Structures are given as structure tokens and as C-alpha cells.
Structure 1
């Protein structure tokens, strides 16, 4: 009996040690696990409820956690866990605002209705067949590639606009002209336009500083333009990894603006350009508070005037639009963004941006150092700081918005051209096909 008791005690002790070890490992790894479940919950909610698709798993990048994810629900909320028990995350769908990660349903107010009439591309008929343009688009879809390479390229939509007319369009299976697609960091370029609208209205100025009341140190010198040009100097790491600011902001913080504002300076404002999704989301937090519009800011100020009826910029739980990453729109609506930029902010005969806004937006950032050459005021330019061209095949005045997984809105003012490429390209190098697409479209239209 004594030996039995001793054996039971040893087993119990071992169980306690194992549980403690597991708990310690889980707590240590919890932030990265929550990143995985947060990504999965938000993705499943948005793909299903915003894009209207039934295949959210196809938008998950390869990750060791994927086989262990348990995703359930349809935005009311969508939940994601590991093994049905661990790292619980919820994403809530709100009409007009898309999906938001939060423990409880966020209170976001009413979404401004958007009528499509202001956007000439929404109901435009499908373009007539043009063999040369269609061939260029076919190459962008990888029709000339082996099946595996074509799948890796992952093109999902291409739209071509010439002089304000839709002249080319194609979609992958499961997508069409009414399917919103996530632009990721192309949202940053949209935020530059949104800021311009507010500058034209006199709500904000590029040289405004002292943007947060608690910034009584060197951060008080950060300006609106610094946030747009990624020269705030706030400490940041855009690496998607354990404990980095970007994963913490997107998947662990319910008030993303407050989190970014709490970060210390690592450089004097204006001296170093460091790519940061935090800068752009903080800017929208500031603009949303200044206007009093909260989550509805992008809809009222920009999306509705342009008639982007499919477009949604998703907010965080506090109501801050996540202007760094979370705009969904159809490729036709993304094309309207490019056409609006090409027109320097004139839409339907009305000037919405200050005259010359895009010229200023494309002026190189005069930082002493940069980790993103050619990134101007949240739009990227073909000319690089050293005088070379990023894409020598394309006209020098080419500029573009760029997002994760190969999202592009490429604008060529000298050709009156806007080309949109959307896709899911986590691994393959998609850039050659985009450059080839624009180059061949220019030749076909020339």
C-alpha cells in the first residue's frame, strides 16, 4: 500500500510538472498563437461576409498551425481556436464596416450608404474583346505557364482602364466583377487620398504636429506628412513574427491607434523612412477623432463621393479604420482609385483633392535613410532615389499602390492608363508578370 501511494504521488507530481511545462510553453507562445487564430478568424469572417465567398481556407498562407485551426461561425462572431480550445479569437461582422477582431461585438455606429452612380466603372459593360489586350491579360494569369506555376502565380482579377474607359477585364474561377478583394497595403495609398480630401476641406494640414496630447517629448514634432511618408521615427518592426509591433497591433490590440502612439521614438521625426503599418493606422485614428466620424470616416470622406459601393475599410474594436491594411473592394473599384489619382483628385467635375496633391504625393521623401526606396507619400514611384527606374520597361511617370500577396494598382499618366492586378501570391514572384502586363497593354493600345 505504501508503495502504491508513493507511485501515485510520483505520477501526480509528474502530471503537475507536465501541466506546468505545457502551461509555460503555451503562455510563452500565446502571442504568436493568437496571431494565427486572429488571422484565421478575421480572414474567414471577411472572405465569407465581405467577399461573399465560401472558401476562406484558400486565403490562408502556409503555416504549421493551419492543420490545427478550428474555425467556426459566420461573423456573429466567427471564432478561431487551436484544437478547439486554445488561443481563442473572435471576429464580428458589421454591415458597411466588414470584420473586426474583438472579444465582444464592437459598437461602430451607422455606416454611410454608398451609391454606385458616381463611379463610371461599376455598371460599365464588359469590354469588347481585343486580341492583343486579352493576350497580355492571359499572360498575367499565367496561361503560358505550367499548372503548378500558374497556381502559384495566383492571379484573381485584372482590370485595364484607358482614358477613363474599361478596355480589359478578366477574373479567376470563383471571382467576378462583383467580388471584393483585399488590397492589404494598397489601403495606405487610399489613406493618402483620404488625407488629401480632408486637407482640401481644411480639416487638417500636412504640417500639423502635436498630434496626440500625451506626446510631450520628441514625438510632438511628428507631423501628418511624417505619418504618410513613414518618417515618424516611431519604433517599429514590420516583420510578421512573435512579439513584433505589426502582429501585436493587428491581432492583439483592440485600440490600434493608442498602441502605436505609445511607442517610443527610435529616430528623430523626418530623418529616417521606415516602413510601418503603424504610422498609417495611427494617422487614421487621429483623423477619425479630429473629424468625429470614427469608423465611418473613409465612407463619408472618400468612398461615398467616389461611388465605391463595394469598398469597405475595416476598423478595430475602438472604431479606428485600419487604414494600413484592411480595404476590400472589387477590382473595378480599385481601378476607380487609380483613375481618381490620375485625375489629381477631380471626380465628376468636382475637385476633391488640393490641386497638385498627386505631384506632392509622388515627390521623393527626403529622409537620410530608407528601407523602402521610391515610397513617396504612401504611393510608390518608378524613379528611385539614385535616379534609376524601378521598372525600366515602363514610362518614367509610372506610379502605383502595392499590397501583400501581389496586389497592384499601376497608374501611367502619360498613357492615360490604370491597370489593376489582384491575386493570392504568397510565394511566387508576381512582379515580372505585372510589368509585362502593363508594357504589353501600352504596346497594344499604342
Structure 2
């Protein structure tokens, strides 16, 4: 064999190996890259069609993939396409009356609808009038909190009246903002509302055998276990590309089914593992037991509270994404906090079962994550004599918390509700000045 032929064969072999390596690398990285483009598509779709903003890139987290993403918006079809460099790993999101869903096409039965619209006035609900006698310390407290990087809105409510509010440039009282995991506290409240409105729906927190495919040890998981994050299902809540949480939110058409398919890692009720997946299983159960579709949150909660801006998005299967995808104005988030503070009553009408908020904010001992947690609400007082989580605010405080710095803090003893929304990647309740803000406000109105 001639030397030239040997060189040619060697070059062909190298080329084949390179192609094989590229294919293998693509297969290896595909789930992560599809997660990234799904995130970008959903983010751009929701910001464009739900808020009317034109800066979706401002809500993308710091990640090496971000500079490689390309996004196209089709206003005529309500479609957004994101890809890597415009050619690979494309994902699409479709806008409908229930937000944006990632999928290969529009969800069956959904229609394109731009949700950029002014919040309409409703005669019913929680009014939140402006307070007329406001201590000077309130404005100073909000000004200090506004200096925290990424803060977009602050609202302070005392005895059902707005004391003061603050908005960053480009945001205002009518701008919907994503609450991320603050939606989990709404999900727990929806369980209470469903109990109240559908007494025969078999929604006892102690109930088990929740899904037909759970024919193994998972049949012992109770609704209470799901609400308290003690289901025992294997999960990873880290927001890295390719983890269960990001795969579920940005690559799975049926999020609850994906979460329910996870294996058991611990005996139910024994180990607390924060999981967005279990919250979506809860809302899937609510859909099944009540017979309500994606309009469930509107009918059970948003309409009676007057939360006219609220949009709880559905996934491609038409099921509500109760873990993460609730958009509302800061004032409507405050209305929800006021509803919790009022123990589930609006204008003297009881909308939650008596004692529901006590149940939701009571810590039940379990192994695993140590932070005091109730039923989809974070709690200041562990209830076992150990130190308060935030010693600078009243012991009876509890809160809804979301990714990137979203908070609704409820302080019953001070008759106070405080809302903070923003985009602060990596921000925690300890680093965002929440404790000082709430403590200062509680003292100002005390």
C-alpha cells in the first residue's frame, strides 16, 4: 500500500472519529442545551406576551450558554423560538390565555391570546386602599431596601391599607412580575379552597394512594407529605442545566407526570427535600379531583380576591405549573398575603376551612433540610424551642419565597404584609435585607 493511500486512510479514520465524537458530545450535552433553550423560549414568551416588556435578556441568569442563545418572536402566532446560534437545539414556547408553554406546538384546546392588558377593576375582592396616616419611618425603610441590587418592587400593607410602595425604573403597579416559588404558597391555598368548594373531592391531607401508577411504596405518600416536602421522592432543586428541576420546567410537556415518575429515596413523611416537582403533583391532583382545568386558580382564588392581573401558567398538557409560573402585579401579590393574614376571609366570607392557615404554617418534625417549613409556607418559629430563623422580626411571621429574590412576608402580630420582587440571582432572605425591612416596618406600625 502506497504511503499516500495510508495517509488518506488515516485522515478518513480521524475524520470519522471526530464525527463520532461530535455526535457523542451532542447526545451528552443535548438535555442541558435543550433545557437552556427551553428556559430562554419560555422566559422571552412570558415577558413579551404577559408583561409587554421588550428586554427578556434581563431575566436570564448568568450562564456561559446565554451569549450563544438566539431568540425569535412571532407576534402573529404568539410563538417564540430559541436556539443555540440560531441553528441547533431549538425549543418553542406558545402564548395562550394561560401564559406560555414550551412544546412542539400549541397545547390542545388553547388559543393564542396576548395577556398584556390593564388590570380591570372588580367590585369584589381585597381592596387595598392607600393609608392616610403613614409613619415617616416607613418610607425610609423602603428606600433602604430599594438599594439592594435587583430590587424591582416593594409594597408594605398594614391593616389592609397600602402604607407605601416603591418601583424600579421600567416597572410599576401594573407590571406583572414572576413570583417563582411564591406560587407554592398559592398552591397550598388552592388545596384549602378546593376543600371548601368541593367537600366530596377527597382532599384530606392524610389521604394516600394519590396516583394510579403509584402501585409500589409510593402509594403511601400522602397529600400532607407532598405539601410539606416530605414525599420521599428523589429530587434535585439546583437550578443548573440538566437537573430535574430545570428539565421539568423547560423540557417536559407534562410536569406533574415527570415528577411523579421519580423513584423513592426516603420513606414518605420522614425526610424533607424541597421539591418543585411535588407541588406540581399537588395541583395535578386538584385538577383531577375537582374537574377544573387551567381556569382552576382563577375560579377558586384570583377572582374572589380581586387578583385581576394574576396568570398561573399551564404546561403543554394543560395542567397548572403551581410550583413556579405565577405572574401578578406586586399589589396582587400583596392581596394574596392579606388573604393569608385574614385567615382566609374576604368581606366576612370564609373562603378557607377554619384553621387552614394554622395547618399551613405549623412545622412538623422531619429529617433532611433544617429550615422550618410548614405546608408550602416558610415559617419563622420552628416551634420546638430552637432559635427563630429571623430573630429580627416577630416570631409569628411566615412567608412565601421565590427564586431570584421574591418574597411575601406575613406578620399577624403586626397586621403587616410586605412584598419584595426583583431579579437578584443567588439572593437569599439573609442577603436581601428582608429581615431589616420587615423588622423596621413592624416597629414603625407598632
Residue 166 of structure 1 aligns to a residue whose secondary structure is strand
Change (3 A) 1:126 1:39: farther
The answer for the alignment partner of 2:265 in structure 1 is: 266
Cα offset, 1:274, TM superposition: 1.1
Change (3 A) 1:190 1:428: closer
- Equivalent residue number for residue 219 of structure 1: 218
Q: CA deviation at 1:374?
A: 0.8
Work out whether 1:257 is the aligned partner of 2:256: yes
Contact 2:131-2:161 at 8 Å conserved across structures: no
Give me the whole-angstrom Cα distance separating, in 2, the residues matched to 1:120 and 1:127: 18
1:18-417 equivalent positions in 2, closer than 5 A: 18-74=18-74, 76-95=78-97, 97-109=98-110, 116-117=121-122, 118-121=124-127, 124=129, 131-142=136-147, 150=148, 153-201=149-197, 202=199, 203=201, 204-367=203-366, 369-384=367-382, 385=384, 387-417=386-416
Contact 1:127 1:169 in 2 (8 A): no
Distance 1:372 1:252, change over 3 A: farther
1:419 is matched with which residue? 418
Distance, in Å, in 2 between the alignment partners of 1:434 and 1:305 is 29
| 1:239-265 deviation per Cα after TM superposition (whole angstroms, max 9, x unaligned) | 233543212211221111111122221
TM-score (norm 1): 0.91
Could you tell which deviates more after superposition, 11-20 or 28-37?
Answer: 11-20
Query: Does 212-221 or 163-172 show the bigger shift?
Result: 212-221
- Bigger mean CA deviation after superposition, 59-68 or 358-367: 358-367
Q: SS at 2:25's partner residue?
A: helix
133-142 vs 252-261, which deviates more?
252-261
Cα offset, 1:7, TM superposition: 5.6
Cα distance change, pair 61–416 in 1 and its aligned pair in 2 (3 A) = same
> In 2 relative to 1, CA 355–65 (structure 1 residues): closer, same or farther, beyond 3 Å?
same
5+ long unaligned stretches in structure 2? none
Q: Is the 8 A contact 1:41 1:89 kept in 2?
A: yes
| Cα distance per residue 1:323-365 (max 9 Å; x no partner) | 1111111000000110000111101221110011101111112
Whole-Å separation in 2 of the counterparts to 1:108 and 1:393: 50
The whole-number CA distance in structure 1 between the counterparts of 2:101 and 2:370 is 29
Tell whether the 8 Å contact from 1:121 to 1:166 is kept in structure 2 after alignment. no
Note the aligned Cα RMSD (angstroms). 2.4
Q: Which sections of structure 1, spanning at least 5 residues, go unmatched? A: 143-149
Deviation of 1:107 (Å) = 2.3
Are the aligned partners of 2:371 and 2:389 in contact in 1 as well (CA < 8 Å)?
A: no
- The answer as to whether partners of 1:199 and 1:206 remain within 8 angstroms in 2 is no
The separation in 1 between residues aligned to 2:291 and 2:332, in whole angstroms, is 26
Separation of aligned partners in 2, 1:182 and 1:380: 19
Moved more, 252-261 or 169-178: 252-261
